[in-house]
C-alpha cells in the first residue's frame, strides 16, 4: 500500500483538501550552542553526550550508541507552544490543555507600528489584515529577515502585541496564536503581561484550551492566506513545550 499523500479535513464546517506530501514547516530546530534564536538572558542550549566514569555516550568516542543529554529552556531557545499555565499560580500543562491538533489558520504579515521606543502590533493592524475568523492566526512581522533564525533578543525590546490586539483576537474566537517574536508582550513590562492575560482571559472564564506559540519563522515564499495548521507538540508535563507547527496549502 502506498503512502497517503492527500487528505480531506473538515475544519470549522469548512472542507479542506491538502497535499500531505508538501508540509510547510514554520518551526525552528533546536541546536546545541549559539546557532539558535535566543531570549530571556540565559545561556545557550546544549546537546552533549552523557559521561559515566570513563564512558562517553558518543559513537565517535567508541560507544555503541549516541546517548545525549539536552539542556534548554522552551521559552528562550526556539519554537514553543504554551498554555495559560505560563502565567497562573495554578498548574496547567500544555500536554493536557491542547487536545486537538488541526486547525484552520490564517497567515498574515504585519509591519509593527512605532509607539515611542516600541514597535507594536495593534488591533487596527490586525483588522486591516485578517480576512476571516479562523481558529488560528499566524503573524509574520516585517521585515522578515532570515537573521530571525539566530537573533539574540535579550535587551533588544522586540515587537509585541498591545492588550487591545489580544482582546480583539480573543473576542473574534481565535484559539491559537502563533508569532515570530519571543513573546506577545513587551520584553520588560514590569510583569504585567497584558497580552498574555487578555488572550487567555485570566480575569474571566480562563481559556484553558487556547495556546500561544512563539518563535516561529515563516519563510517569505509562504504567502499570506488560509492554511491547515498542524500544531505538533512534545508531550511535556509543563506550561510550555518545544513544538513543530506545520502549514498545509488548502486546495
Task: Tell me the C-alpha distance between 37 and 216, whole Å.
Answer: 10
149: how many CB neighbours lie within 10 A of its CB?
14
In a domain, 112, yes or no: yes
In a domain, 60, yes or no: no
In the predicted structure, residue 14 carries a pLDDT above the cut 80:
no
| Confidence (pLDDT) at 1 | 55
Task: Tell me the C-alpha distance between 27 and 96, whole Å.
Answer: 21
Among candidates 201, 198, 205, 202, which has minimal Cα distance to 184?
A: 198
- Of the given ranges (2-16, 75-89, 149-163), which has the lowest mean pLDDT? 2-16
CATH of the domain at 108: 3.50.30.50
Task: Tell me the C-alpha distance between 220 and 218, whole Å.
Answer: 6
Name the band, by pLDDT with cuts 50, 70 and 90, for residue 4. Answer: confident
Q: 164-200 burial, b for 16+ CB within 10 Å, e for fewer? A: bbbbbbbeeebbbbbbbbbbbbbbeeeeebbbbbbbb
- Helical H runs in the chain? 94-97, 123-129, 163-171, 194-200
| Confidence (pLDDT) at 12 | 62
Does the reported pTM lie above 0.75? Answer: yes
| Confidence (pLDDT) at 115 | 96
| Confidence (pLDDT) at 11 | 63
In a domain, 83, yes or no: yes
In a domain, 233, yes or no: yes
> In sequence order, what DSSP letters do the residues of 153-219 get, joined into one string?
-TTS---EE-HHHHHHHHHTT--EEEESSS-SS-SSSTT--HHHHHHHTTTSS--TT-EEEES----
φ, ψ at 146 (rounded to 5°): -65, -15
Q: Convert the pLDDT of each residue in 128-152 to its tens digit.
A: 999 999 999 999 999 999 999 999 9
Grid coordinates belonging to 194: 497584558
Q: Tell me what the mean pLDDT of segment 69-83 comes to.
A: 97
In a domain, 113, yes or no: yes
| Confidence (pLDDT) at 232 | 97
Name the band, by pLDDT with cuts 50, 70 and 90, for residue 229. Answer: very high
Q: Tell me what the mean pLDDT of segment 26-42 comes to.
A: 94
Domain hosting 175: range is 6-30+77-249
Q: Tell me what the mean pLDDT of segment 172-176 comes to.
A: 97
Cis peptide upstream of residue 107 (ω within 30 degrees of 0): no
| Confidence (pLDDT) at 78 | 93
86: how many CB neighbours lie within 10 A of its CB?
19
In a domain, 205, yes or no: yes
- Of the given ranges (5-14, 55-64, 156-165), which has the lowest mean pLDDT? 5-14
Mean pLDDT of the chain: 95
In the predicted structure, residue 16 carries a pLDDT above the cut 80:
no
User: How many independent structural domains does the chain possess?
Assistant: 1
In a domain, 36, yes or no: no
Name the band, by pLDDT with cuts 50, 70 and 90, for residue 108. Answer: very high
In a domain, 17, yes or no: yes
Q: Convert the pLDDT of each residue in 199-223 to its tens digit.
A: 999 999 999 999 999 999 999 999 9
- Give the residues across from 121 on adjacent strands: 161
Among candidates 82, 78, 107, which has minimal Cα distance to 228?
A: 107
In the predicted structure, residue 118 carries a pLDDT above the cut 60:
yes
Amino acid at each position: 500500500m502506498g503512502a497517503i499523500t492527500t487528505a480531506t479535513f473538515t475544519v470549522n464546517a469548512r472542507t479542506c483538501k491538502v497535499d500531505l506530501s508538501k508540509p510547510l514547516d514554520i518551526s525552528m530546530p533546536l541546536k546545541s550552542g549559539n546557532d539558535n534564536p535566543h531570549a530571556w538572558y540565559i545561556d545557550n542550549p546544549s546537546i552533549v553526550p552523557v559521561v559515566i566514569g570513563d564512558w562517553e555516550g558518543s559513537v565517535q568516542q567508541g560507544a555503541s550508541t549516541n546517548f545525549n543529554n539536552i539542556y534548554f529552556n522552551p521559552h528562550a531557545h526556539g519554537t514553543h507552544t504554551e498554555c495559560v499555565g505560563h502565567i497562573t499560580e495554578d498548574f496547567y500543562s500544555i500536554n493536557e490543555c491542547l487536545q486537538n491538533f488541526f486547525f484552520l489558520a490564517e497567515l498574515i504579515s504585519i509591519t509593527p507600528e512605532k509607539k515611542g521606543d516600541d514597535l507594536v502590533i495593534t488591533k487596527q493592524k490586525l483588522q486591516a489584515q485578517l480576512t476571516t475568523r479562523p481558529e488560528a492566526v499566524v503573524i509574520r512581522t516585517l521585515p522578515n529577515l532570515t537573521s530571525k533564525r539566530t537573533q539574540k533578543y535579550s535587551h533588544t525590546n522586540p515587537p509585541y502585541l498591545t492588550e487591545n490586539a489580544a482582546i480583539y483576537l480573543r473576542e473574534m474566537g481565535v484559539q491559537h496564536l502563533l508569532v515570530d517574536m519571543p513573546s506577545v508582550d513587551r520584553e520588560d513590562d514590569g510583569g504585567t503581561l497584558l497580552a498574555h492575560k487578555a488572550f487567555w482571559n485570566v480575569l474571566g472564564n480562563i481559556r484553558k484550551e487556547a495556546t500561544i506559540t512563539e518563535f516561529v519563522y515563516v519563510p517569505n515564499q509562504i504567502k499570506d492566506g488560509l492554511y491547515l495548521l498542524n500544531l505538533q507538540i512534545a508531550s511535556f508535563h509543563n506550561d510550555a513545550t518545544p513544538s513543530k507547527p506545520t502549514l498545509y496549502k488548502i486546495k
